């Protein structure tokens, strides 16, 4: 099979790209385009380029990144298309992204079907357009629009693309038919090639302001700001010099660790849901969802399911609580409607019965799946599951949203442990991307498969986790939290810790996160764990003092930070520093200084060390599952690829050396994970484990 098929339709050479699943511009596609353009010049009067299957071209072939480049390069291919002596039309459907849009910009005319989308999403991969996109797009759209598209990477609808001047026409029909019709019209009107490079250079804008804005907004990510300089070159330099500047900046980004991190994240996010054991397993049907408990999580889960087109019955303890939950869900739906995420028709369905509340569990008799989100108390949960087991139909799946509790114990309260699973959503549940699918000892494969199918329906990133205290994410969180708490006890200010970690790229500092989630959650966990703690463990108690003062975080207006008049961004509070100083004195600690690097190193080493244990214990199946969990649920910078990728890129021996060094102060907490020691000893990496190597 050739990657670019050639066919003569009258005077028009039709070049069809065939490289499933997304027609990525692989070496075979690039070479095929050049060969077939040359053939068309000998045999035809015009050229049409279309994609076979679902889409035009989704971009360069990402799997070739990091490997030696193979001729012909995409920039040369786009220029060759533009230099064609015949008029070239590109007809778009599906997505024309990155190098795909650049191929279309190399063509002289562009048409699309109405559902097509175009974009230059390279910044999401840590790079920028590298095949003329930064030079040709602004010539068509003007500088501001091109800067917006290139620096956000957003997908633009066909209608917008027409308005921006990217498309010449939108038509109904197959891409081949609408493309042929347009090419015939071009020939009939006697129009020849119309190279974008010959269009006037775009007008300059305040590029320094754009650059500065994107440096600040990038939180460490450099690609969007770098792309600004390439667009600037389109305004300042002749076309060929602009292309050379684009190539130089592109190569810098291609060789950056950020590109490596983001490409890892891209493939890891797709690998998490591909579990060999589920390959031939058919998920159970899902139409009706039950939710038990309509508090913070239950209401959010109900909202997420309703937004995905499922019907929901929510159970609360009494009528007043049910009405309160109904209000919360409706407010959440109002918000989604305002943001254009919910159609009026669907809203009507929801009001007409797709959503209901009840206090009697019998209302769940026909539910396909029930998700429990009641208080985090094992006795309450067991009682709820025993009741569900009685009222729900035999095929129904019973899921718990517990954050920490033992799902095997919950499953044992039912007569159907094979149908019990953990579905651990994150707050706010209708927004956060992550869903941990927690598989208990007896959970059946089709129940696991149904969890993944639900996640797909809800557009969430699902990661398989095993049962332990905190599963993947919260278990690792508890450990790195302890590392930062210890640093504060030893002399660091929580505010400096937050600043250092935001600088590292975390979405929020850990103390600001605690204030958002509520300090009472950690307090309850510390009390729960107190009885079983290893006596060698250091347990900083200053957060308990804050809780005793009623400082539970944002919801009480005071936590680690102050939130005057309902402010969402906290203000530092000297009283908290005094309280911590008093705790240090009581514990006999002489405070010492921690630099920004000290804080970042301890934080990331604690995270990696516990993550290695989580992998060794089989709680996460592969290191990449940890990476996706931390990125999608815990604000870890995507451009660093996740903690395990970060560890590989830093060098595992370096991480181990840090751990051994910290262990001289606190041997219990910093004891290196055996898996990490083995990997270093054998010269292996976490990526080797991702690839299935046994170490
Ligand atoms: N290269 C290689 N494989 C790709 C790919 C690509 N560009 N895009 C997708 N795949 C694989 C993906 O790994 C998965 O494989 C399958 O296709 C289906 O993807 C010079 C530098 C197109 C919107 O960034 O955004 O052009 O897991 O599950 O939800 O400037 O994929 O089945 O084995 O995501 O329907 C710019 C990236 C590249 C687009 C489809 N392009 N892709 O979404 O399916 S850089 C992108 C996407 C560039 C030039 C440069 C999405 C999609 P498998 P999927 P989907
Ligand atoms: P919440 O206190 O806001 O809500 C719990 C709700 O359950 C209350 O509205 C209560 O009336 C209701 N309820 C209690 N017992 C009930 C019963 N027997 N039948 C029906 N309703 C009952 O709690 P939450 O924050 O929504 O947490 C719920 C669960 O989700 C917990 O297991 C928690 O660990 C987990 N979780 C919470 C978060 C979070 O950030 N809040 C994140 C992930 C998971």
Q: Taking CA 597 as the corner, what is the angle to CA 606 and CA 554, rounded to the nearest 5 degrees?
A: 70
* Longest distance between any two alpha carbons in the chain, whole Å: 90
Which token pair is 219?
């939180």
Q: Is 62 touching ligand 1 by the criterion CB < 6 Å?
A: yes
ipTM, two decimals, is 0.94
377: CA distance to ligand 2 center in Å? 9
pLDDT in tens, 98-131: 999 999 999 999 999 999 999 999 999 999 999 9
Q: Which amino acid residue places its CA nearest to atom 31 of ligand 2? A: 376
What is the reported pLDDT for 530? Answer: 87
Taken in order of first residue, the domains within the chain and their CATH numbers are 4-255 (3.90.226.10), 286-465 (3.40.50.720), 473-548+579-690 (1.10.1040.50)
Q: Which atom of ligand 2 is nearest to the CA of 315?
A: 20
Q: Give the side-chain half-sphere CA count within 13 A for 114.
A: 3
DSSP letter for each residue of 545-598:
HHHHTT--BGGGTBSSEE-GGG-SS-EE-HHHHHHHHHHHHHHTPPP----HHH
137-172 residue pLDDT tens: 999 999 999 999 999 999 999 999 999 999 999 999
Closest CA to 310 of 362, 371, 361: 371
Residue from 122, 260, 316, 610 carrying the catalytic annotation: 122
Give the number of other CB atoms < 10 A from CB of residue 694: 5
Q: For ligand 2, say whether the CB of 384 is within 6 Å of any of its atoms.
A: yes
Contact 284, 160 (CB under 8 A): no
pLDDT of residue 319 exceeding 70, the answer is yes
Instruction: Decide whether any atom of ligand 2 lies within 6 Å of the 524 Cβ.
Output: no
Report the separation in Å between the CA atom of 421 and the middle of ligand 1, taken as the mean of its atom positions. Answer: 31
3-state SS of 424-464 is EECCCCCCCCEEEEEECCCCCHHHHHHHHHHHHHCCCEEEE
Q: Residue 156 — φ and ψ, nearest 5°?
A: -110, 135
For ligand 1, whether the C-beta of 22 sits within 6 Å is: yes
CA–centroid distance, residue 421 to ligand 2 (Å): 17
CA distance 86 to 187: 10
Tell me 695's DSSP state: -
State the distance from the centre of ligand 2 to the C-alpha of 374, rounded, in angstroms. 4
Residue from 372, 457, 387 nearest 421 by CA: 372
Question: What is the pTM for the complete model shown?
Answer: 0.94
- Reference 463, options 425, 427, 428; nearest CA is 425
Q: What is the pLDDT of residues 45-61, one digit of tens each?
A: 999 999 999 999 999 99
pLDDT tens digit string along 507-560? 999 999 999 999 998 898 888 888 888 989 988 889 999 999 999 999 999 999
pLDDT of residue 328: 97
Out of 82, 102, 269, 372, which one is annotated catalytic? 102
Is the CB–ligand 1 distance for residue 583 below 6 Å?
no
Please tell me the distance between residue 541's alpha carbon and the centre of ligand 2 in angstroms. Answer: 26
Q: Is the CB of 410 under 6 A from ligand 2?
A: no
Q: 109 - beta bridge partners?
A: 89
To the query of whether residue 122 is one of the catalytic residues in this protein, the response is yes
**What's the DSSP call for residue 212?**
H
pLDDT computed for residue 652 by the predictor: 98
Question: DSSP string covering 327-342, please?
Answer: HHHHHHHHHHHHTT-S
- Is the beta carbon of 63 within 6 A of some atom in ligand 1? yes
- Which pLDDT band, with edges at 50, 70 and 90, does 418 fall under? very high
Tell me the pLDDT tens digit for each residue of 75-99. 999 999 999 999 999 999 999 999 9
Q: Which residues of 521-542 are buried (b: 16+ CB within 10 A; e: fewer)?
A: ebbebbeeeeeeeeeeeeebeb
Strand 311-315 to strand 461-466: parallel, antiparallel, or no bridges (unpaired)? unpaired
Model pLDDT, residue 1? 65
Atom of ligand 2 nearest to the CA of 517: 40
Report d(CA 2, CA 582) in Å as an integer.
Answer: 74
SS3 content of the chain, % helix, strand, coil (to 5): 55, 10, 35
Q: How far is CA 261 from CA 477, 609, 614, 638, 647, in A?
A: 21, 19, 21, 7, 11
């Amino acid at each position: 099979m050739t990657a670019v098929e050639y066919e003569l339709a009258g005077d028009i050479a039709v070049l069809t790209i065939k490289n499933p699943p997304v027609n990525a511009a692989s070496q075979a596609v690039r070479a095929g385009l050049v060969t077939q353009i040359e053939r068309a010049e000998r045999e035809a009067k015009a050229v049409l380029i279309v994609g076979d299957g679902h889409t035009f071209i989704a971009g360069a072939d990402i799997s070739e990144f990091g490997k030696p480049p193979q001729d012909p390069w995409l920039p040369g291919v786009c220029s060759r298309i533009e230099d064609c002596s015949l008029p070239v039309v590109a007809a778009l459907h599906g997505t024309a992204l990155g190098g795909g849009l650049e191929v279309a910009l190399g063509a002289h005319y562009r048409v699309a079907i109405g559902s097509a989308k175009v974009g230059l999403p390279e910044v999401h991969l840590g790079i920028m357009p590298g095949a003329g996109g930064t030079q040709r797009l602004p010539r068509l759209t003007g500088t501001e629009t091109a800067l917006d598209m290139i620096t956000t990477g957003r997908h633009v609808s066909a209608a917008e693309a027409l308005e921006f001047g990217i498309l010449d026409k939108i038509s109904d029909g197959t891409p081949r038919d609408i493309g042929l019709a347009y090419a015939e019209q071009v020939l009939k009107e006697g129009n020849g090639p119309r190279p974008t490079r010959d269009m006037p250079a775009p007008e300059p804008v305040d590029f320094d302001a754009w650059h500065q804005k994107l440096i600040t907004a990038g939180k460490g990510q450099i690609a969007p700001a770098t792309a600004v300089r390439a667009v600037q070159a389109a305004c300042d330099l002749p076309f060929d010099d602009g292309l050379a500047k684009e190539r130089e900046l592109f190569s810098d980004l291609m060789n950056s660790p950020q590109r490596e991190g983001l490409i890892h994240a891209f493939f890891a996010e797709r690998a998490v849901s591909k579990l060999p054991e589920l390959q031939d397993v058919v998920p159970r049907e899902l139409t009706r969802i039950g939710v038990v408990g309509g508090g913070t999580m239950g209401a959010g889960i109900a909202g997420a399911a309703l937004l995905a087109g499922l019907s929901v019955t929510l159970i609360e303890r009494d009528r007043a609580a049910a009405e309160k939950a109904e209000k919360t869900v409706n407010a959440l739906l109002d918000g989604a409607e305002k943001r254009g995420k919910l159609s009026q028709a669907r809203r009507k369905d929801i009001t007409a019965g797709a959503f209901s509340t009840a206090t009697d569990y019998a209302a769940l008799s026909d539910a396909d799946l029930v998700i429990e989100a009641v208080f985090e108390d094992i006795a309450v949960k067991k009682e709820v599951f025993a009741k569900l087991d009685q009222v729900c139909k035999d095929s129904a799946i019973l899921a718990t949203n517990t954050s920490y509790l033992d799902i095997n114990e919950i499953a044992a309260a039912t007569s159907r442990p094979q149908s019990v699973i953990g579905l651990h959503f994150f707050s706010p549940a209708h927004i956060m991307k992550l869903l941990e699918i927690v598989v208990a000892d007896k959970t059946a494969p089709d129940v696991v498969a149904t969890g993944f199918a639900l996640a797909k329906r809800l557009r969430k990133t699902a990661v398989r986790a095993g049962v332990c205290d905190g599963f993947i994410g919260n278990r690792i969180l508890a450990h790195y939290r302890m590392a930062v708490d210890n640093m504060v006890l030893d002399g660091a200010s929580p505010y400096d810790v937050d600043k250092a970690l935001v600088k590292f790229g975390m979405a929020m500092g850990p103390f600001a996160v605690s204030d958002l989630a509520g300090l009472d959650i950690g307090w309850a966990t510390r009390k729960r764990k107190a009885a079983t703690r290893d006596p060698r463990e250091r347990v900083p108690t200053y957060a308990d003092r804050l809780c005793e003062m009623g400082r539970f975080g944002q919801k009480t207006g005071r936590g680690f930070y102050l939130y005057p008049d309902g402010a969402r961004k906290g203000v530092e509070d000297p009283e908290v520093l005094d309280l911590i100083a008093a705790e240090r004195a009581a514990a006999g600690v002489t405070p010492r200084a921690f630099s920004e690097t000290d804080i970042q190193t301890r934080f990331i080493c604690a995270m990696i060390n516990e993550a290695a244990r989580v992998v060794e214990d089989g709680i996460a199946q592969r290191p990449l599952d940890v990476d996706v969990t931390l990125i999608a649920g815990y604000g870890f910078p995507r451009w660093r690829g996740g903690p395990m990728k970060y560890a590989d890129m830093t060098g595992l021996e370096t991480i181990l050396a840090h751990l051994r060094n910290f262990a001289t102060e606190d041997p219990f907490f910093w004891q290196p994970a055996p898996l990490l020691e083995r990997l270093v000893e054998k010269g292996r990496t976490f990526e080797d484990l991702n690839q299935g190597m046994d170490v």
